[in-house]
Structure 1
Amino acid sequence: MLLGEDRKEQRRHRDVAADSRRHEHDGRPSDGEESEGSGGRPDEAHSAFTPPLGVPLPPVPPESEHPTSEFALPEGFRPPAQEPAGSAFSEPGELRPSDVGQFTPASGIPVPGLAARRNAPWQDRMRSMVRLPLAERPAPPERRARGEEEAPVPVPRVLDLTLRIGELLLAGGEGAEDVEAAMFGISHAYGLDRCEPTVTFTLISVTHQPSLVDDPVTLSRTVRRRGTDYTRLGAVYRLVADITSETDHLSLEESYRRLADIRRNRHPYSKNALTLASGVLAGAAATLVGGGATVFILAAIGAMLGDRLAWFASGRGLPEFYQFVAAAMPPAAMGVAVVLIHHPLLDNVREGAVVTGGLFALIPGRALVAAVHDGLTGFYITASARLLEVVYLVVGIVCGVLTILYIGDQVGGDFPPVDVFRVERPATQLMAAVLLALAFTVLLQQERSTIVWATVNGGVAWLVYGALADTADFDPVFATVVAAGLVGLFGQLMSRYQWESALPYVTAAIGPLLPGSVTYYGLLDIAQGNLNGGLTNLSTAVALALAIAIGVNLGGELARLFISSPGIETPLPGRRAAKRTRGF
């Protein structure tokens, strides 16, 4: 209340109180009749806010001098500019650097460096966001459903598309991290900014919560069948790249149509072509470990018979474990036949090379690399399941080979002792390594554009391994890590250049490094009763396999850490590492 108004109100109350006292107590006349010598009003009639008699009231200040209340800002202080009034749920205006840390916008805090990553592959962009806290993730693009700005986002359909694409990636052998990044990128591209994908070995799910007060929507899908088709995997990668692109406008209906075309496409190679490729692979592997032309033919025949037997078991609905048992028996039987049949053409044939060549196509190197990659990136449940799958497949191979070797030993087969393999024909074995990688690309159903690069990568891997392990006398495990690291590095470089998955450039290239001969010798020792020697060789095979997986993963991480993608001038900030424990 203004000071002038207070003074007027006080004077009015004082006059009213004085008149009342005159009439009720003293019978004095009203105002104007009181004599000058009356002595004034009694003490009890004085107000605490009434000045004593004889003290003049202060002058009433003009009202313009006090236009505000006591909570007004002091004179000379400039208040901050006020933002226009709006809804509490509307997005804030432009974020100034001084405002960072004072509040968290509803749409998330822009992540430094993401603007520079727009030209990066979707794997790099999505890995940077998927591990950020929910409040720190950048807002989804303004367009909704890719060209349907006015229509609401069909949440169930977007989540269904996300799950279907994630299922194809996981079934094709992709790592859990890339599957999760793809699922997050698809949902984020279609405007769902509160999505959390979850990937395990057989179950994938995605949860979307529209806001903090709305009920979440969760969909899940079970991956029951797996198939190796890198042509389909490359098509899915291109679809995800188009969906997550900030320049293309791919509608939801167009994405469904392209996904349906991908699922309907036939494999590029028939079963007969796959059987022939398995034979060529076995022959090349047998030549790689010291075999000749006869060994090449015998190993190829054993591998093709094993492949056909595995197809027969698969058609009858037998589990994959029994398929591997069946596929491992014909190569081992060819090796036992070489020992039992005394023929001049077979005098200089090494039965170990025959069996080793047949086992190369069965060793689950792809599953082992994926398992180690998932473990190193923090997906321990999926990594454990993949490793358990590898164990079951290896046990199936062991059962098939041991059964045949035990039968051959019982019928009088004279197996020679285990010998140490050394490189004797570098040029021939290098050509065998290249042929082995080429056959692997056919078995993996790769696109023709990736076959040449994967084949060259496999030849380089064997050349590096031979130079380190056999020429420079390095430990085979160390040589395997270095060779596999170069394979992973080259695969990541090619995947960034082609904007595709790194698996087609990596999986076939590690074929020459697989520990086929050590695996055979370990099984032979066990069949002959030399348990200690067998376990030692099998432990060496496990160490070599893990060295391959770790080397491939390390090469890929080095490529992501130090090498930027085409079209990006600034270095790319890496994704947040998985942090589970510190070891205590």
Structure 2
Amino acid sequence: MSETRTLHLTMDLCLRVGELLLSSGAGAADVTATMQSVAHSLGLRNPVIDVTFTALSMGYHADPELPPLTLLRSVVHREIDYEDLTRVDHLVSQVLLGEVDVVAARATVARISSSGHRRKRWAVTTGWGVMCVGVALILGGGVAVCAIAFSAAVAIDRLQAFLSRRRLPSFYQQVAGGGLATLLGVLAAWAGLAVNPSLVVTANIVMLLSGVGFMGALQDCLSGFYVTGSARVMEALLSTAGLIAGVSGGLAVADVLNVDVGRISPGEGTWQAVTGIAIGSAIAAGAFAFSSYAPKRTVVPIGLVAAIALVIDNQIVSGGFGRTWGAAVAAFFVGVVAWSLSRWVKVPPLVVVVSAVVPLLPGLLIYRGLALLSEDAGDPAAGILALATAASVALALAAGVILGEYVAQPLSREARKLEGRLSGPRLVGPLRAKFRRV
């Protein structure tokens, strides 16, 4: 009986750890490898683990003469949360080293999942506003555009928080956010401000774009989790479709009010000089990490990495090699640097990687592609080309990051044995297989 109880506790711990990692932004490959590592360290050999977009399952057959044991757990809440991700990653390291037992580890996981954040919510809202200011600088916006972008980001964040508390699906939250962002641009045009309405809307909606999800989906596909990756692609496209609907609604209001805002084409703004790109990308990446509850010690290093990465991308694109190769080389640089930097600031490499590539994400390309396909007077060929370019950029980012981690992250023989069918270095979870003897 005591062995059965220990088996249940061990499997439940693995599932709870996997749930927290998956809901906090980790990839399916990292979640599976982490669950395998925890199970192996606690004496559970060769469990069957399955990770999908909304559910986790774990099975174990201890005795051929007894029925197998299978536990399931649903993943409902999805939010990028690097504070919980870091705390779980540190707990996994303690379990692998034998510093905590199953009972203490389950208690810690329960505290992590049930406790709130130490960072105040108003500070997170301010962080989103600062992030949009950074994007406005990257696109060459002036003081007026930066001020509108900050105000819009703050208003959108509070609106989405209000709608989320009322359990409104994310699609409708995107519609509301896109509509509010566009209405602020319309208001700026109505007030006669000397700003480009397209640039204003671009800076406003960037926090709603789904480039992070799209890149994560391709990362899952590269790691062999095609079902989960396909589901994440659908989520990213549906999220962007809601954003397009909101922007279209805002433009309809402008037509009714006879306010001329011209053609809204997010992503077609002229980029700033190299200095402006570096400063803007550092601000955007650092603010994104801060707003995603990353530890404060990571904000400045992530900003510096992002600035260098975007300058690399800009120089390669300016040299005529195309945006895809620029994104790939910049992502490779981020992947190489993230390994050492993450150990220095004591966070999983995923925190550094995702935050640093935020200025490079193809969310605006996804928007433009879907918008051109949905408009009555749109250009279907240009829309398909924009979506294909977005897919190539996202694939280049994911592949470049993974290749950079391969080069920088030494995988021991034990880790390769443990992962079995899994491919790729770890962005979350055990980076070195150091287990206690059981």
Q: Cα deviation per residue 1:267-306 (whole Å; 9 max; x = unaligned)? A: 1322211221121111221221111001100111122222
SS in 1 for 2:177: helix
* 2:213 maps to 1:367: yes
Tell me the CA shift for residue 244 of structure 1.
Answer: 1.7
* 2:134 maps to 1:287: no
Q: What's the counterpart of residue 289 of structure 2?
A: 441
Q: Distance in 1 between matches of 2:259 and 2:368?
A: 15
Q: What's the counterpart of residue 226 of structure 2?
A: 380
Tell me the CA shift for residue 375 of structure 1.
Answer: 0.9
Q: What's the counterpart of residue 274 of structure 1?
A: 124
Tell me the CA shift for residue 172 of structure 1.
Answer: 0.7
Select the structure that is richer in helix: 2
Q: Distance in 2 between matches of 1:499 and 1:174?
A: 17
Are the equivalent residues in 1 in contact too, given 2:370–2:387 (CA < 8 A)? no
SS in 1 for 2:141: coil
Residue type at the aligned position of 2:219: H
Q: Cα deviation per residue 1:303-326 (whole Å; 9 max; x = unaligned)? A: 222211111211222111111111
SS in 2 for 1:241: helix
Q: What's the counterpart of residue 337 of structure 1?
A: 187
Instruction: Pick the aligned partner of 2:33 from 157, 172, 181.
Output: 181
Are the equivalent residues in 2 in contact too, given 1:355–1:520 (CA < 8 A)? no
Q: What's the counterpart of residue 72 of structure 2?
A: 220
Q: What's the counterpart of residue 334 of structure 2?
A: 487
- What's the TM-score, normalizing by structure 2? 0.86
Instruction: Pick the aligned partner of 1:196 from 48, 59, 63.
Output: 48
Larger Rg: 1
**Residues matched between the structures, number:** 419
How do residues 235-246 of structure 1 correspond to structure 2 at under 5 angstroms? 235-245=87-97
Instruction: Pick the aligned partner of 1:233 from 85, 108, 127.
Output: 85
Q: Identify the structure with bigger relative contact order (alpha carbons < 8 Å, sequence gap 6+).
A: 2
Q: What's the counterpart of residue 265 of structure 1?
A: 115
Q: What's the counterpart of residue 429 of structure 1?
A: 277
Tell me the CA shift for residue 263 of structure 1.
Answer: 2.5
Tell me the CA shift for residue 564 of structure 1.
Answer: 2.1
- What's the TM-score, normalizing by structure 1? 0.66
Q: Distance in 2 between matches of 1:432 and 1:554?
A: 22
Q: Cα deviation per residue 1:79-134 (whole Å; 9 max; x = unaligned)? A: xxxxxxxxxxxxxxxxxxxxxxxxxxxxxxxxxxxxxxxxxxxxxxxxxxxxxxxx
Tell me the CA shift for residue 206 of structure 1.
Answer: 0.8
Tell me the CA shift for residue 528 of structure 1.
Answer: 7.4
Q: 1:558 to 1:441 in 2, by over 3 A?
A: closer
Q: What's the counterpart of residue 21 of structure 2?
A: 169
Q: Cα deviation per residue 1:444-463 (whole Å; 9 max; x = unaligned)? A: 11012322222122111211
Q: Distance in 2 between matches of 1:268 and 1:456?
A: 25
Are the equivalent residues in 1 in contact too, given 2:328–2:399 (CA < 8 A)? no
* 2:241 maps to 1:389: no
Residue type at the aligned position of 2:211: G
Q: Distance in 1 between matches of 2:299 and 2:165?
A: 29
Q: Distance in 2 between matches of 1:445 and 1:185?
A: 26
Q: What's the counterpart of residue 199 of structure 2?
A: 353
Q: What's the counterpart of residue 393 of structure 2?
A: 547
Tell me the CA shift for residue 341 of structure 1.
Answer: 3.2
Unaligned runs of 5+ in 2: 424-438
Tell me the CA shift for residue 256 of structure 1.
Answer: 2.1
Moved more, 541-550 or 286-295: 541-550
Tell me the CA shift for residue 514 of structure 1.
Answer: 2.8
Q: 1:258 to 1:525 in 2, by over 3 A?
A: closer
Q: Cα deviation per residue 1:208-234 (whole Å; 9 max; x = unaligned)? A: 111333321111111121232201111
CA-atom RMSD in angstroms: 2.9
SS in 2 for 1:220: strand
Q: 1:276 to 1:561 in 2, by over 3 A?
A: closer
Tell me the CA shift for residue 474 of structure 1.
Answer: 2.7
SS in 2 for 1:507: helix
Are the equivalent residues in 2 in contact too, given 1:405–1:527 (CA < 8 A)? no
Unaligned runs of 5+ in 1: 1-149, 580-584
Q: 1:173 to 1:524 in 2, by over 3 A?
A: closer
SS in 2 for 1:205: strand
Q: What's the counterpart of residue 205 of structure 1?
A: 57
Q: What's the counterpart of residue 459 of structure 1?
A: 307
Q: Distance in 2 between matches of 1:532 and 1:564?
A: 47
Q: Distance in 2 between matches of 1:275 and 1:361?
A: 11
Q: Cα deviation per residue 1:437-481 (whole Å; 9 max; x = unaligned)? A: 1110122110123222221221112111111123x1331232222
Q: What's the counterpart of residue 426 of structure 2?
A: none
Question: Identical aligned pairs, as a percentage?
Answer: 27
Are the equivalent residues in 1 in contact too, given 2:336–2:407 (CA < 8 A)? no
Residue type at the aligned position of 1:530: A
Moved more, 256-265 or 493-502: 493-502
Instruction: Pick the aligned partner of 2:155 from 285, 305, 308.
Output: 305
Q: What's the counterpart of residue 325 of structure 1?
A: 175
Tell me the CA shift for residue 255 of structure 1.
Answer: 1.4
Q: Distance in 1 between matches of 2:398 and 2:338?
A: 9
